[in-house]
Amino acid sequence: MHPVLKIILQRLALGLVTLFVVSIVIFTAVNMLPGDFAQAILGQGATPEAVDAIRRDLGLDQPPVTRYLQWLSGALQGDLGNSFAQANFASFVGADSGVRTTVAQQIAPRFENTMFLAGVTAAIAVPFAVTLGILAALYRNSVFDKAANIGTLTSISSPEFFVAYILILFLAVLNPMLPSLSNIYEGMPFSERLEKTLLPALTLTLVVTAHMMRMTRAAILNLMASPYIEMARLKGVKPIRVIVRHALPNALAPIINVVALNLAYLITGVVVVEVVFVYPGIGQLFVDSVKIRDIPVVQACCLIFAAAYILLNLTADILSIVSNPRLRHPK
């Protein structure tokens, strides 16, 4: 078997094992949340019989191991269960089972919105950060290099909600250029949707740019003392061409890694930003579901976050392996 294919298969197997372990952690942590969903719905004055009826109907009276195996079996088949909050609770104490809304139906539009936000952010942040890193390496130790480092470190050191409120103040209040609330909806025209997404996308861009910019700069500078770079310089090749044509292709592996990690953050770490801008994404849904103890939705959101993070990390590993000539062409 080719060494690259063997390493890729090993990474995929490790990813599956990791996701399985994470699913156990998710189920355990979610079920340790304080409060009882049935009690919260019926209120403190509910009779024990009514509470027991709801718990029985929702399957909450079963042992944790049984519930975990049922949840895992359903998730493997694409069935994430039914939302507690969207059910007809009045029917739980009667003969009719009520109408349920599946978790997949509830999550699908929210996940699409989050992916749109992540896509807009990536389209802005990745080219901007890589370009900034190249220019910082080209003008090393210059005023531009120092200013870029200070600016990006300041943005990444600030909490996301603080960056978001600063942007709202300057771009929505003092200078009303962009809307402060991202109240998007299904069927909205693309241009209007993009406009309402720009402010949270700019917030996330400022948060993730520093890692990508600094890694690009460090990876390029690490190669600048290489013999082939010195040879290119001696031939009179322009500095920008030396970096873009000779140094950058050989610095792709660490850059790809840090870009993939930050893309994972754009999916899994958008909770605070979505809450600040009231953006109807999966992060906002996650927070709302935790408040009302909607266990199936919380578990599904956590599983999606974990799967996205693991998948993007695996993608980064595989791309790093593929971009390594020594592994692609073994002796």
Q: Give the residue with greater pLDDT, 261 vs 135.
A: 135
pLDDT confidence of residue 87: 59
pLDDT confidence of residue 188: 86
CA distance linking residue 56 with residue 101, whole number of Å: 18
Q: Give the residue with greater pLDDT, 88 vs 135.
A: 135
pLDDT confidence of residue 238: 85
Q: Which two tokens stand for residue 185?
A: 């909806």
| Average predicted confidence (pLDDT) for the chain | 82
Q: Token match 């009179």: residue?
A: 236
Of 124, 136, 75, the C-alpha closest to 302 is 75
For the chain, percent of residues with pLDDT exceeding 90: 14
pLDDT confidence of residue 35: 67
Confidence check: pLDDT of 91 > 60: no
Q: Which two tokens stand for residue 152?
A: 């990006």
Quick one: CA torsion of 315, 317, 318, 324, rounded to 10 degrees? Answer: 140
pLDDT confidence of residue 220: 86
Q: What is the pLDDT of residues 167-190, one digit of tens each?
A: 999 998 888 888 888 888 888 889
Confidence check: pLDDT of 84 > 80: no
Mean pLDDT, range 104-111, rounded to an integer:
88
DSSP H helix total and E strand total for the chain? 16, 0
Residue 151: band (very low, low, confident or very high) from pLDDT cuts 50, 70, 90: confident
The H or E element spanning position 22 is helix 3-31
pLDDT confidence of residue 116: 92
Confidence check: pLDDT of 12 > 80: yes
pLDDT confidence of residue 218: 87
pLDDT confidence of residue 124: 92
pLDDT confidence of residue 94: 43
Confidence check: pLDDT of 96 > 50: no
Q: Which two tokens stand for residue 148?
A: 């870029």
Q: Token match 């927070």: residue?
A: 287
Contact between 281 and 117 (Cβ < 8 Å): yes
Domain boundaries, the chain: 1-101+294-331, 111-291
* Record: fold of 111-291: MetI-like fold (1.10.3720)
CA distance linking residue 54 with residue 37, whole number of Å: 9
Confidence check: pLDDT of 21 > 90: yes
Q: Which amino acid is at 128?
A: F
Q: Give the residue with greater pLDDT, 3 vs 124.
A: 124
CA distance linking residue 330 with residue 134, whole number of Å: 31
* Count of positions (residues) in the chain: 331
∠ CA 164-168-174, rounded to 5°: 150
Q: What is the pLDDT of residues 33-69, one digit of tens each?
A: 776 666 666 666 667 777 778 777 777 778 888 888 8
Of 119, 192, 162, 195, the C-alpha closest to 273 is 162
pLDDT confidence of residue 92: 45
Residue 159: left if φ>0, alpha if ψ -120 to 50, beta else—which one? Answer: beta
pLDDT confidence of residue 45: 67
Confidence check: pLDDT of 154 > 90: no
Q: At what angle do helices 252-268 and 103-138 cross, to 10 degrees?
A: 140
pLDDT confidence of residue 260: 82
| C-alpha of 294 from chain center | 21
Of 187, 59, 41, the C-alpha closest to 112 is 187
